[in-house]
Structure 1
Amino acid sequence: MTAASAQPASVAEAIRRGLGDCTPAERKVGRVLLASYPSAGFETVAKLAARAGVSGPTVVRFANRLGYSGFPEFQQALRDDLDQRSASPLSIYDRAREAAGEQQQSPEGGVLERAAATTVQTVDATFRRLAPHDFDACVELLADAKGSVWLAGGRYSGLLARFLAQHLLQLRPRVAMLPDDPSTRAAVVAGLGRADALVVFDYRRYEESTRSLVEHVRAQRVPVVLFTDAWLSPIASEADVVVQSETTSASPFDAMTPALALVEAVIAGCLERLGDRATERMRRIERSASQLGLY
């Protein structure tokens, strides 16, 4: 199955992927929904149509285009999405136990067996659903940015941001994590411009500070790459490139393995795109490390 044919994991993903098949009027509806996702989808047909500058029947046709029997079914799917987007590890755990109780049976196999199967399935689904265009755009932006590449993440995803930063720094100059210190971060962000690039990692439960950061740099015309989950961070409507990964795991905590696999693929893509520039830089770094007795 190709990325184009894989089943969308969320309503937001279905909207993003379906825009190319829409009429110009329907596309306006999709863009309004993504720009204010998911709140815009809970408005009445008439209000959403007015915001998009289209007719009411166009809004209904857009919902039909996505595979829903009508706008009420579309809104129910949005409610389900919102429930998933805001789910905490504890609520996920409670739901799993409740479902197991209703089925009156325990999950098959041991933890190790279940974790292995889930990880393989989740990583596979992540790569199947990733549009090649999004991957290529991510690699191009990170490899070719004329200025600096800055990275930021959340409580857990900050580990992924640091992993990507450390590897990118081996391949190209001017790569760094955004400082955690408030005054230093403010000073760095104030100096960003369109020659730079910002990479952010934002997974449920999405962090307001990350959203504020992206909104601020977009006003400065800084290109943004977003790594997020299947439900799409609210930042998705602001980002130039969105790279999604599945997060299903054998525990109530969202899996980071698929996201790490995508990060490693991006690193490989940047190395290939930079070619001799990257390998020569790596050689210089190795020589310096040896002369400094670092490794």
Structure 2
Amino acid sequence: MTDGSRTVADIIAGRYGELTRSERRLADTISENYPVSGLGSITTLAENADVSTPTVARMVQKLGFKGYAEFQARLHQELEATLSNPIAKHDRLARNVPDTHILNRFGEAAMDNMRRTLSQLDQETFGGAAALLSDLDRAVYFVGGRITGAIAGYFYTHMQVIRPKTTLMSSNSGSWPQHMLNMAKGDVLVIFDIRRYEQDMATLARVASENGVEIILFTDQWASPVTKFARHTFRVHIEVPSAWDSSVVTLFVVEALIEAVQAKSWDKTRQRISQLEGLFEQSRLFRRPG
């Protein structure tokens, strides 16, 4: 019996070391164009991986599925979940609404998302991302989509105070080539891409990666296609009883990274904040008592 909260890709990664050479070749084939690569017939998948159909049958059972049909059903569920629009999500949730207040339902879902995300979040990934963002020799660029662009802007606003050489890219992909012109090998590109993944994000990530740019990705539990180009990926659980996905845990990880980065160079950060406060004072930006 497989864990319903984990994707097939998670299950394969967790059991990869137990697979035979042929099964690993099969697993790699599935990963190349996941999850679409596993949606054809068992014969087609076997031929694409250059293995026998019994090898496919054995591996899916080793992964905890009763057979190829159940394996494919899980992939179809994942694909449907990533393509769901707000109306489809609302209608699915409306079928079985518990008789509890929305605040309680939402709170429970958000806390469950937090627990699941933290249980799967690799501290080495977190530390590696913090190290890249702390390296002042690298320029850092931030970009998000139609909704996640707001989180990219939030991250950028804080990082701009902590360190120099930061740039917020517009969610409009038409402006991206000009930014890419300035990206140098070793620079960092922070991408936010959650389900209904935006096609241009994968193109941006591919071109940036080919030019030596290090990518930090914030995505969901199903994982954006950008994952294959990212050096560090944060897979955050986002489902709540709403037509919209939740940004609560994504923002939590972002704020934890902000603290980790500023703590690495607090003396310089403190100096920058002090200078900024002086500029605020000169411009009379904030209300003063009296």
How does the TM-score come out when normalised to structure 2?
Answer: 0.86
Indicate the residue corresponding to 1:9 in structure 2: 6
Distance change (3 Å), C-alpha of 1:23 and 1:288: farther
Query: Could you tell me which amino acid in structure 2 is paired with residue 173 of structure 1?
Result: P
Question: For residue 186 of structure 1, what is the aligned residue in structure 2?
Answer: 177
Shift of 1:236: 1.5
User: Does structure 2 conserve the Cα–Cα contact (< 8 Å) formed by 1:145 and 1:196?
Assistant: no
**1:78-109 deviations in whole A, cap 9, x for unaligned?**
011111111111111112223x2xxxxx5122
CA separation in 1, counterparts of 2:74 and 2:18? 20
CA distance in 2, matches of 1:174, 1:249: 36
Following superposition, the deviation at residue 129 of structure 1 comes to: 2.2
The alpha-carbon distance between structure 1 residues 123 and 67, as it changes in their structure 2 partners (threshold 3 A), is same
Aligned mates of 1:28, 1:279 — CA distance in 2 = 51
Hey, what does 1:169 align to over in structure 2? 160
187 and 119 in structure 1: CA distance in 2 versus 1, 3 angstrom threshold: same
Query: How far apart are 1:229 and its partner, in Å?
Result: 0.8
CA distance in 1, matches of 2:73, 2:87: 23
Structure 2: state its 5+ residue gaps.
none
Change (3 A) 1:169 1:244: same
Name the CA shift for 1:261/1:18 in 2 (closer, same or farther; >3 Å).
Answer: farther
- Equivalent residues of 1:154, 1:202 under 8 A apart: yes
Within 5 Å, which residues of 2 pair with 1:122-271?
A: 122-144=113-135, 146-179=137-170, 184-271=175-262
Shift of 1:8: 4.6
Matching of residue 34 in structure 1 with residue 19 in structure 2: no
SS in structure 2 at match of 1:167: helix
Deviation, structure 1 residue 135:
1.9
SS class of match (1:200): strand
Identify the match of residue 81 of structure 2 among 81, 84, 102. Answer: 84
Letter in structure 2 aligned against 1:249: V
Aligned counterpart, 1:285? 276
* Aligned residue identity for 2:272: R
Give the percent of matched residue pairs that are identical in Structure 1 and Structure 2.
28
What are structure 1's unaligned runs of at least 5 residues?
Answer: 1-5, 101-105
Q: 1:254-294, CA deviations, whole angstroms, 9 ceiling, x for partnerless residues?
A: 11111111111121222233343433333333334334444
Q: Cα–Cα, structure 1 residues 184 and 120, in superposed 2: closer, same or farther, change >3 Å?
A: closer
8 Å Cα contact 2:206/2:229 also seen in 1: yes
Which secondary structure does the structure 2 equivalent of 1:185 belong to?
helix
1:25–1:277 distance in 2 versus 1, CA, 3 Å: farther
1:71 pairs with 2:62: no
Whole-Å separation in 2 of the counterparts to 1:170 and 1:215: 29
User: Is the 1:26–1:59 Cα contact (8 Å) retained in structure 2?
Assistant: yes
- 2:94 matches 1:97: yes
**Structure 1 contact 85–204 (Cα < 8 Å) conserved:** yes
Which residue, out of 104, 108, 114, partners 1:113? 104
Letter in 1 for 2:231: D
Q: Is the 8 A contact 2:140 2:167 kept in 1?
A: yes
**Would you say the 8 A contact 2:60–2:67 is kept in 1?**
yes
Work out whether residues 12 and 232 of structure 1, in 8 Å CA contact, stay in contact via their aligned partners in 2: no
Per-residue CA deviation, residues 10-38 of structure 1 (Å, 9 max, x unaligned), is 22333344435545554443333222111
CA distance in 2, matches of 1:281, 1:288: 11
1:106-155 deviations in Å (ceiling 9; x for gaps): 51221222222222222222222222232222222222263211111111
Go from structure 1 to structure 2 and tell me whether the alpha carbon gap of 1:111 and 1:153 turns closer, same or farther (over 3 Å shift): same
* Structure 2 Cα separation of the partners of residues 179 and 242 of structure 1: 21
Instruction: Report SS of the residue matched to 2:34.
Output: coil
TM-score by length of 1: 0.85
Going from structure 1 to structure 2, the CA distance change for 1:263 and 1:20 (only over 3 Å counts) comes to: farther
How many residues of Structure 1 are paired with residues of Structure 2 in the alignment? Answer: 284
